[in-house]
Amino acid sequence: MSYEDSPSLDQFKEGIPPRLPDPNSARRRMRLTIGILAILLLGLALANFFQSHTATFIVGEGTVRGVILDKEGKPVPASITVEYTKLETNTDQNGYFEIRGIPVGNQTIVITWMFAGYEAPIEIHRGGITDLGTIYVPTDQRPDHPLPRLEWR
């Protein structure tokens, strides 16, 4: 502190002044505010990133395929959807299906045919193909009867 800025006795005629506010408290509040805003901004940026195609490209994607047949071995027209995505396809005339571009990790596919549906958990690996093989579905079920389990071979 320079001599000109040092306190004089005239400032203390009335006694010692009340405690002055801490000059660092304003800095602390500003740093806290900036920190909270930075965390919120980072959270929004990450949420936006993971909904983009860039995240899928970086994290990776894979493919699932299989064949859906009835108990007699005849192809079944079915719809296959990856849950919580817009990825879906239908079986071809041979019962074959393939969905590409599925995000890596644990996913659930939904198979629907006639009056029935089934959910199957699958694991997708980066650049890999998850082959479900042949899935045998019952086609003689009516909507008012409970569904039996599917056979996977």
- Evaluate if residue 138 carries a pLDDT over 60: yes
Write out the H or E segment, with its range, that includes residue 109: strand 105-113
CA 113/CA 95 separation, integer angstroms: 11
**pLDDT tens digits, residue range 6-42?**
777 777 777 777 777 777 888 899 999 999 999 999 9
**Token digits of residue 35:** 């920190």
Q: What is the mean pLDDT of the chain?
A: 84
- Does the pLDDT value for residue 53 go beyond 90? no
Q: How far apart are CA 84 and CA 53, in angstroms?
A: 15
User: What pLDDT was estimated at residue 33?
Assistant: 96
Q: Which among 19-28, 37-46, 111-120, 144-153 has the top mean pLDDT?
A: 37-46
- 45 in Cβ contact with 71 (< 8 Å): no
Q: Which residues of 24-39 are buried (b: 16+ CB within 10 A; e: fewer)?
A: eeeeeeeeeeeeeeee
What's the pTM value of the predicted model, to 2 decimals? 0.59
7 versus 86: which is more confidently predicted? Answer: 86
SS3 state at 118: strand
